[in-house]
Every structure is written in structure tokens, then in C-alpha cells.
Chain A
Amino acid sequence: MISLMIAIPLLFAFVSIVFKGLAKYALPFIVLLNILILLIASTPVVENIGGWKAPFGISLVLDDASYYVVLVVNLIFLLLSLIPQIIDKGYDTIILLLLTSTNGLVLTGDLFNSFVFIEITAAAAYILAYHRNNPYGAFKYLIIGGISGSFYLLGTIFSYVGAGSLNMAHISNNSFGQLTAAIAILFILGLGVEAKLFPLAGWVPDVYASGSSLTPTILGTAITFAIMYLTGRIFITVLHGTFLDVLYILGLLTVIVGEVAALRQDKLLRALAYSSIAQAGLVVAAISLNNIDSLTGAYFHSMNDLTAKFILFPIATVVIKGFEKDRLAGFAFSVASFSLIGFPLFAGFRSKLLIISSAFSAGNYILPAVLFFASIVEAAYLLKWNIKLWFEKSDTSNNIPWNLKTIVLVLSILLLIIGIYPDLYLDASRKIAQSILDTQGYINSVLGGI
């Protein structure tokens, strides 16, 4: 059943190559279908492709974690499909492909399969990055993405060599012996590029700030969230928390570097790209603390971040003349920025609070300090942009499409609601965190007690 979530978009992606224009209309329905499937599914579901039993064949796993991640990813695609204006002609196919691969990325229980999906995601992302005639940025992304993909593949092969299997649950159940370190390093390098870790992810600003609203909107939200899930899954569930300290250091570095670099930018999209980098670093650092609260906080924060970014990126690309005539869009933009900074009453505050308190209870005094530093810098530049846009004088509005306006408004109100009543996001992220930490449960559900 859940394999349909991968198969149908893929099918339509191919079909739409032949029947041009089909994808545009198909996208919302496909996403809705996916969500429907999710709604009727009850976790955990393990589907073995081709009928091969778990350790031998490829299995798709829908446990609590992947359930919510897939749900979030599909909701994002649903929102995206509701704003067809920002999807340029011909890119519908890529979006479908991206939907396929992201769903696959999350659902798969097989390492090599996840490599395949990562590569497809990356390929789609290269094309997206190329969007709006940005070939050089896209090419850079392609080179570094290709190398990282190779490393991810190497990591996969090493785990096959070490554990004798490609199934995540099976690998997790076995031990690698001496190869653990090598595998962890390879995965760090492989995932680090996509997870925007410093200094691996030099591609981000050039790609995000190409002037397209589609690229950063989808790469900075759905894909990032999926990658964050995969990071947690691989490093905590599969590798049992090996080498998390390296991730932790890289994450902290990313936070600092991202914010400091963002301070300098004189283009809004670029600043937001750096902010995206910094938030990803924060999430990775919080994941690497490896306890239930920090993981909850991390995914909670990631969700707040993607909600905010889904407001910020489209508006940032559309709005050139300031908010004087687009007060609603401006309101949404400001709410999203305040949430990102982490003011009380807004969603970002709750997740930051959770991350800080979990860090403190884990005896970690550095992460909160870095987080506070980052928040200060973030506040400085985000507020600067807010003020600048609010005070831009203009007589005409920016022609923001009504559906985009509605969506960002709804999302900004969602951010406010989450800030006061966070259970909606908090429960989901707690489920994700629990399920990622529950290695034994994962093994049991996939391998069925072998």
C-alpha cells in the first residue's frame, strides 16, 4: 500500500513527459492520495517489495517517525501544489520526481535504496537549482552533490561489507566491528552536503538565492526535513549514536558560520539561505545530543523552521516593492521572522526552549550559548530586513497571487497558534523522536523478530 506513495508519483512523472501539462493537474491529487493513504494506514507498516522477506529484499517502513515525516513532506507538497504560479512550466515533472524520491527517502528501510532516492532527489534538486538560469550554481551543486553521493554509496557498501546486509534494521542489529568509524565518517560526508553542514555545503546560498521562489521553498522545507529525518535515522537508529560528537561540532560550527555570514548579506534571499543553513546546523546539533527531549526539540524546531521558511522564501522572491500595499503578506513575513528569531508567543520560542532545556539537562552548556548567540545575530538581520521592507515606499502592490497570500497567512497564524498551543507540532515531533530512539522497536517491526 505505502509503496503506492512512491510508485504513483513516479508513474505520473513518466507519463507527464509524454503528456505535457498533465503533471500540473495531477500533482494535488497525487499528494492528496498520498495523504489519504497515510490517514488510513496504521503504524507500523512494513512492506517488502517483491515479496522478499525483510533482510533480503527491499522493505518500506512506515513507523511513527516516517509516518509523520512523510505526512509533513506531503503536506508541504500539497501547499506547493496549491500555488501553481510559482511552479514554472515544465517543472511539474521535477516536482513529481522530487515527491517520489522524498517519499522514498523517508519510507525506505534499505540503505542502498536510500542512496538511490538521495541521488534522485539530488538530481531533481540540480534541475531545480538550475531554475531561473543559474547554471553555474547548479553545476557547483552537482559536483559537490555527486561527490557526496559517491561517499554515501561508499558508506552503504562499507556497511554491507561490515554488517553483511543493506537493511537498516538488520545492520542495526549486527555490529560492524572496526568499520564503524569509517562508515560513520562516510555518512557524515554523504549527508553533510545535503544537510547543509559547514564547510561541506557551500552550494546553498548560490542555489537558494538564484531568484526562483520554487527552489528554496521546496529545498529548504521538505527536502531539508527529510534529510534531517534520515540523519537521525542513520546516526541514531542504525549506527547507535556513533560519531555524534563530530556531527555536534559540525552543527555548532554551521550555526555560528551561517548566522555570521547572513549578517553581511545585502540580498534578502541570500540572507535567508544562510539562515536556513544555520537552522539546519542547529537541528543537527540538537539531534546529536541523542536524547528524547533534544530530538523532540530538534524536529519541532525543524518543523517550525520549515513553516517559517515556507512563508519567507516565496514572499522574499515575490516582494520587491515592500509591504506598504501588501500588509497581509508583510504580517505573515514578520510573524515568520519573529518565530525564527524565537520570540515568545511565536512557535520558534517553544522549540528553542525545548532544545535549550534538553541541552541543559544533558549537561551541555555550549549549545545554548551558541543558540543564544545565533538568535541575537538572527534577530539583528531579520529585523533589519523586516524594517526595510515595511518602510519601502511604493504606490503599487507586488501582485502577490491570492492563493499564496492565503497560504502564508494561514501558516503565519499556525505559527502563532503553535506558539501558544504547541501540541500539534510537539506531539508529532515527540513521536518522531521516540521512534528514532527506539532502535529495538524498529528492528522488531522490520525484521519481525528474526
Chain B
Amino acid sequence: MSQLLLILFIGSFLVYLLTRMNWIIGVLANIGLAIYSFYRLFTFKVGTSESIFSLIVNQNGTLVYSELSKFFGIISLIVAISVYFFLINWLEKQKNRAVFNFFLALITASTLGVFFSGDLLTLYIFWEIMLLFSVLLVQMGKEDSKKAALNYLTISLIGSYMYLYAVFMLWNRYGTLVIKDIVQKISVETSIFKWAVLILIAAAGIAKSGIFPLHTWLRTTQGSSPDAFSAILAGQLEKLGAYMLVLTVAVFPSLKMFPVLYGGIPVFNYVLIVLGMISILIGTLMAIKQNDMKMLIAYSTVSNSGYILIGLATMDKIGFAGGLFHAFNHAIASVMIFLSFAAVIYRTKTSKIDEMGGLIWKMPLTFITYLVGIISLAGIPPMSGFISKWMIFVVLVKKGMFLTAAAAFIGSVGSFLYVFRPLAGVFLGQLKSKHKDVKEVPIFMLIPMLVLVVITVFFGVIPGPVLNMITAVEKELNIQPLEHTMTVIKSSVGQWNTLTVFTMFAVGFIIAFILYMVFPKAKRIPLTNQYTAGEFLYNYDLYHYSTRFYAFFERLYEKHPSVEKLYEMFGKFFKDIGEFLNRWFYSASPSAYLLWFSIVLLAIFWVRW
């Protein structure tokens, strides 16, 4: 593994040089690296460990290859490969191509590094490398992205420094950083120490995957980062957060460490579940309001991370599998969605929903990608997204967690609402006159999108391969494995067959198609031939309903409290303090200097003498 990482890190420099020479070769080299590491993932033997450099005395960094790292590695490489393919055409319009490619390669390398890490500090290092370069990539986007990058950096750093704090607490107490040893020691820990440690470690995952108190960066960051990178951000980087959450709830055996409460769930996990619930609600309700399509999907990420967290935190064989599977599905679906958005923005140069419309007539394949993506994201049957949502629903209902279930239901039905908004606003409806000459995107942008469509449909019909990987992970983490066959998913409260559902859907579709063909053919009329209550319209741009699509629903929660505003308040508070300090301590007159001087003198005297 260290060899692979070394190859990737050195290879990324090579990618940089190649891209400087000829950017297409650079992108191809990047794809080559990703495909090579994808191949290598299958050649590694699970359970091998290697030791690498040392940072603290007596503590070598270790790399461990586990089923978990394999699972997440595969997700992130699928995402990476498809996005890199997309870049073959997309990168043409981006400035600083060499740096862009270089950073992408570094991010993939460090992401794999995180998954391979066998000890907490190595994990932190790869984590921070990934963070740094992703921040640098984020700020290469639109004008707002500069501010967004700061936002992203600050919140991610809050998470990762909390994590590092926990790492040192563990190191100080146990003298080791290897996850395996710590797990053994912490599972017999009795004091409040384990609470502190686990909450701090979870903070990193919470910040990265966008769970409630630390979700605010997602909107601006996803909204304004370079379009292709948004896909990486959603599909690859946020799954690091999911990995960290798995680490928190499952690798650290929360079942053994904490007393078990209602529903057989450890008390610590309840804290996470509550956070997940809040994220689902916030993500759903805020996504419904967004007018920028990327920001909309960013909030949907908040909501879906909530699902992943809830699924994982139940620590049940179905729920845990559902969480992992949802991580997989969400990665693929959000990459599809963001790639289709990138394709749209590539042609139309805007991401505002109400500035577009009717693009389905110009970009049908992009539309299909988006459609399949949202069907999977919203969890509607023939696609894979429903399978994981089903698992999570089942476990919530089985354990009788009705409030959480209600949140999950709201999130799930709400997702129909928000995914429909770009569908209606961007792809359907009247074509804007300024987009008359828009063409479908070039072939290399289409290939990865359509391949992802096939993947999503395939795993929606035959989820067996992914479920096999998930059960392997569950076995490794001492959770009872999920019962399933290639197409049947079983739980203690019932089962269902993905293939039957798909077949019946196909049958229904064929019946409808036969009916459609039997009856008289309809005449194709242009979109401008509309029912207008007898009125004549000349500007059909205005005859497209996309501004404030759910205005009547948004009205219900117009005056909602906002964490984002709270954080802004904090920021302003710090700045005010800074202003205060600057005025009263640093820009003051000599008299004031002396005043503070004497105050310190007196204070020390008063306290210490």
C-alpha cells in the first residue's frame, strides 16, 4: 500500500508536468493512475499492514488494508475515474489546468491514504493534505468561491483539530495510536474520557460529511467550486466523512463502550442520530428553497449524510448495511447529478435554475443522467438509492424509533420536491431564447455520465455485489452480516426482491406502451403551442414556471432560525473583538501602553504576592 501511495504521490507530480506540456496527456495520465490504483485495490490482501514513517517518538505510522478501506476506496476511485474522464473535455475551459489536475491527483492519493491508515495520526496527515488541496481547488471556481473556500477551510479545520485533540488525548492515555490497540483499550474504559474522545473524533466526520452543526460550508462551497470538482467534493471527499463516522460508531465498538438504550442502540449513537435527524430536516427544507441548482444539491447532501449517519449509528445489521450502501449510492448519484450540472453550466454558463429551461431538447443525454441520478438520490425503486433507504426505514421502524423515522420520511418525500425543482426548471419547460444554439456536451463528458447511469441501474436491479462487500465489512466489524441473495434483501420484518420490482416495472411500462401504440397517433406540436387561456404570447421565456417554485411552501418557514447566521454572528463577534483589541491595546497612545503595563504589574502582584 505504501508503494501504491508513493506511486500516486509521485505520479501526481508527473501529472502536473505532463499537464503543463499537454493537458490532455495530463488528464489521461491521471485516469491511468486512478485505474491502476483501482486495479491494485483488488490485488491487495485484506488484513495486511505496513509501517511507514514516524512522527512521534516510538510511534511508527501504519497502513492497514481492511474490507472497510476496500469498500470506501472503490467508491472514491469510481468517482475519481468518472470525473477524470469528464475532464478530458471539461478542462478545456478551466484556467490553471496543470494545477487543477495536480491537486486532483493529490486529493485522490491522500483520500486513499486516509482509507489505508492504520493509526490515527497517519489518518490525520492524509486528511489534512486532502483538506489543503481541496481548499485550493475550491477557490479556483466562481467569484464567490474565494469566500466559500475560507468557510470550508474554517469549518473543516474545526472538525479536524477536534479530531487531533482526541488523537493526542488517546496517545497520552494509552501511548499508542494504532487503531486496533486503541479499540481494545478503550472498550474497557469506564470514565467520561471515552465520551470526550469519541465526540471529538466524530466531529471530523461531522464536519466533512456536513452533519448539522457543521454543515454550513456545504452550500457556498459546493455552490461555487469548479463544477467538476463539486462532483469530487460530493462523491469522494464527503465520503471521507462517512468513513470517519464508521470509524466512530463501529470501529470503536460503541456497542461495548456505552450502555445500550431503547432499541438496542448505544447512548452515544443516540447523540449522533439526533444530529442526523436535524441534518435531514435542515437539508431537506433548505434544499427546497434554493434557486442555485448546485446549492440545492449541496443541501441535499446534508440531508443524505444524515441518512448515512442514522443508518450507521443504529449499529444494526440492516441499518449499518443501509448506511454503507447509502454512502455508495449517494456518492454515485451525486456525482451523476453534479456532472450533469457541470455539463449544463459548460454550455449555458449559469447555475441559476430560473435562468434556464427546456434544456432537455438540447441535451437529452445529460437530462437522462440527471434523471437517473435524482431517482437514485430521492430513493425511488428501480435505482439503487431506494435499496439503502429501504434498509434505513426498516431498521428505524423495527426499532420503533418513530421520531427519527418521521424525519427520515420527511427527508425522503422532501427529496422528491427538491430534486424536481432543477428537473422542472432547468431541463423541462420552455427553452429560453438565448439557449437556442446550445448543443449536447462532447462525447468524453457523456461517456462517464452514461456509464454511471448503467452502474446505478445495474446495482438497483442486482445489488448483490455491493451487498457482498458490505457484509464483508460488517463481518470485519463484528456486526451480524446482512442476509441477502443477489437480488433479495431480507430483514426480520420482511423482504423484497429488486429484480421482481424491476420486472414488474418493465411489464407495466410495456403495457402502457402497447396502449400508447394502439390508439391514434398524436401530432407533435412545438412547446410554444400552449394553452394560454386564449391569450397571445410572444416571449415564451416568461412562460416557464421556475422562479420560487415552491413559494407557497417556503412561506411556511420563512422566518426560520439559521445556523449560518449564527456562525456569521460569531465571525463578526470575533472581528469586533479584534477591532476592540486593535483600538485599545495596539493602536493606543503611549499612556495606554503604560496603563496596561501597570495593570499587568498590579495583577501579578495581586495574584501572586
Q: A residues engaging B (CB < 8 A)?
A: 139-140, 143-144, 147-148, 181, 185, 188-189, 192-193, 198-200, 202-206, 243, 246, 250, 257, 260-265, 274, 338, 343-345, 349-350, 353, 356-357, 360-361, 365, 368-369, 372, 375-377, 379-380, 383-384, 387-388, 391
Contacts and interface: CB of A to CB of B under 8 A. Distances in A.
B579 interface: yes
Given A263-B575, A343-B132, A376-B154, A205 B589 contact: no
Nearest to B151: A380
Contacts of B146: 384, 387-388, 391
B459 to A, nearest CB: 36
A140 B588 CA distance: 9
A360 B600 contact: no
B349 interface: no
The 8 lowest CB-CB distance pairs between A and B, nearest first, are: A264-B578, A372-B161, A199-B596, A143-B590, A360-B172, A344-B125, A261-B581, A261-B578
Contacts of A391: 146
B355 to A, nearest CB: 25
B153 interface: yes
B596 A360 contact: no
A361 B172 contact: yes
Interface string B567-603: 0000000110111011001111110111011011100
Contacts of A379: 153-154, 157
Given A243-B608, A360-B168, A205 B593 contact: no
B139 to A, nearest CB: 5
Nearest to A391: B146
Contacts of B589: 140
A365 B609 CA distance: 27
Given A185-B605, A264-B579, A200 B149 contact: no
Interface residues of B, number: 50
A353 B154 CA distance: 19
A338 B132 contact: yes
B582 A380 contact: no
B587 A257 contact: no
Contacts, number: 137
Given A264-B582, A343-B129, A376 B157 contact: yes
Contact of A372 (B165, B575, B588): B165
Interface string B136-151: 0001000000100110
- Residue from the set B56, B124, B593 with the largest chain A CB neighbour count within 10 Å: B593
B593 A203 contact: yes
- Residue from the set B125, B129, B153, B600 with the largest chain A CB neighbour count within 10 Å: B600
B150 A383 contact: yes
A319 to B, nearest CB: 18
15 contacts: A147-B594, A200-B600, A202-B588, A202-B593, A204-B586, A206-B586, A261-B577, A261-B586, A263-B574, A353-B56, A357-B171, A360-B168, A365-B169, A368-B168, A377-B574
A345 B129 contact: yes
A188 to B, nearest CB: 7
Given A144-B594, A343-B128, 7 more contacts: A140-B589, A250-B600, A260-B581, A263-B574, A356-B168, A380-B150, A380-B154
B135 interface: yes
- Residue from the set A143, A185, A205, A344 with the largest chain B CB neighbour count within 10 Å: A344
A257 B585 contact: yes
A203 B586 CA distance: 6
A143 B593 contact: yes
A383 B149 contact: yes
A375 B597 CA distance: 28
Contacts of B578: 260-265
B157 A368 contact: no
A426 B154 CA distance: 29
B604 interface: yes
A212 B499 CA distance: 74
Contacts of B581: 257, 260-261
A181 B139 contact: no
B55 interface: yes
B157 to A, nearest CB: 5
B124 A387 contact: no
Nearest to A422: B55
A246 B575 CA distance: 27
Contacts of A356: 164, 168
Contact of B582 (A181, A205, A383): A205
B168 A202 contact: no
Contacts of B586: 202, 204-206, 261, 274
Contact of B149 (A144, A193, A260, A387): A387
Interface in B94-131: 124-125, 128-129, 131
Interface in B525-563: none
A262 B581 CA distance: 10
A262 B575 CA distance: 9
